[in-house]
Amino acid sequence: MKFFLPILCLPLFLYSYTLDELLELSHNNRVVESAEHILSSKEKLYESSKSSYLPTVDIGANYQNASKETGAIAQNTLRFQASLKYTIYDGGKKDSLYNQLESSIDSSKSSIEATKNSMSLEVSRLYFEYFGLEADKEAITQEIQQLKEEFKRIEFFYEAGSVTKDEVVKIDSKVKNAQVLLQEVELKSQRVMHTLEYYISTKVESIDANATIKLPIEQKEILRADIKSLEYDATSVLHEANIKKSQNMPVVYLDDTLSHSDYYFENEALKSGFLVEDQNIAMVNVSWNIFDFGARTKEYESKLQEYLSKKSLIEYEKSKADIEYRLAKISFSIAQEKVKSTKAAADASSLAYKLIKFKYQNKTIDNVSYLLALSEKYKAQRDSKRALYELEIRKAELIYFSGKDIKEFL
């Protein structure tokens, strides 16, 4: 029990987030939350519009007091009424309105999906970039450690008078330069972490390094969610144009009113036999705007031009997306070759360094060649590890530009 107590007391900020968890958090950040509220608003507007076309029933009552009674007007009258109204035909506006709102809802859904996919790409880039920087830090730290050891060794020989001052100064300068470079890499690493927090709306102290992206066996391009959203948006505008056009058609609606009246005559002799206590009046009304100086037609044409504009933009975005997908495939192929080439370069530089180090320690070459070989060795090691993380980024980009969500391939 005593062994487990320290573990239970560890601060929560030591928890390491996996890439899958980071993506899940990014899919629920403030931007996505805002888009979901917009979607909910559109869905409620759609339900409201559907309800507005159902029959409506209004009830009312009124009390009337007349200063002079007549045969048709009692001194006091109390009336209750109920009216039913229903639109029989509105020129096709209802169907166009429903279609417009449905397309708008679909556009919002695709927009949310596009936002999530975009978040997945950016978070994945940051995730692998962070570990690329960590690889840089590891290699630079190892280089500094080896330089310091060499500095101690060369300083001993300098005190013994077997090496010159400039050899000591060169190694000391190399150590200081590597330390500055390490600080710069650390700053970049911190910036990546802060940017990551921006996307997931949560403070992150540590992330797990074990994630890899699995490419689908069949790499097939599908229509991206952001372009789907544009298509639905364009369709929504087309239906909106049809709404404007329908206003040139006749509108037919039913109005049925049932009423009950109580008449209170002060002089009952004046009461007319034509007064009716219970009455039901049904009317079918037709309204048709036949002339408005072309205002509604111009509104329709305006919306139609907006629709055509959006269609042109969609074709442009489709062409751009196709190019981006093809370039992503090429970048992925290059990244695969880069992994192989940097691994070969790292192996070669390590072998070369061992040979040069042996010659340097045996005084057959100067420290300039040695320091150059040392730098090349660690640079090659950094490049090799970075190439692996870059390959993961290219996988993420290929999945994104193919129209899919990276989260599905972890």
Q: How many Å separate Cα 323 from the centre of its chain?
A: 21
Residue 285 contacts residue 253 (beta carbons within 8 Å): yes
pLDDT band at 5 (very low <50, low <70, confident <90, very high): very low
The token pair at 130 is: 């962070």
Last residue of a domain, one of 260, 287, 314: 287
Q: What is the pLDDT of residues 279-305, one digit of tens each?
A: 999 999 999 988 888 898 999 999 999
Query: Residue 351: inside a domain, yes or no?
Result: yes
Pairing of strands 206-207, 16-17: parallel
Q: Total structural domains in the chain?
A: 2
Q: Are residues 177 and 275 in the same domain?
A: no
pLDDT above 60 for 341: yes
Own/partner pairs, 228-232, CB within 8 angstroms, 24+ separation? 228/106, 228/110, 228/113, 228/114, 229/107, 229/108, 229/110, 229/111, 229/114, 230/107, 230/310, 230/313, 230/314, 230/317, 231/314, 232/103, 232/104, 232/106, 232/107, 232/110
134 phi/psi in degrees, rounded to 5: -65, -35
Q: Same domain, yes or no, for 370 and 349?
A: yes
194 and 82 co-located in one domain:
no
Same domain, 137 and 275: no
Higher per-residue pLDDT: 7 or 102: 102
Same domain, 60 and 183: no
pLDDT digits (tens, 9 = 90+) for 304-329: 999 999 999 999 999 999 999 999 99
CA-atom Rg of the chain in angstroms: 39
Is 50 in the same domain as 68? Answer: no
- Judgement on whether residues 69 and 171 belong to the same structural domain of the protein: no
Q: Name the region of 40 (left: φ>0; alpha: ψ -120 to 50; beta: rest).
A: alpha
Q: What is the pLDDT at residue 129?
A: 96
- Whole-number pLDDT of residue 233: 96
Same domain, 78 and 185: no
CA distance 167 to 173: 10
CATH number at residue 338: 1.20.1600.10
In DSSP terms, 284 is beta-bridged to 254
More confident: 212 or 153: 212
Mean pLDDT of 341-350: 95
What is the extent of the structural domain holding 274?
A: 56-89+251-287
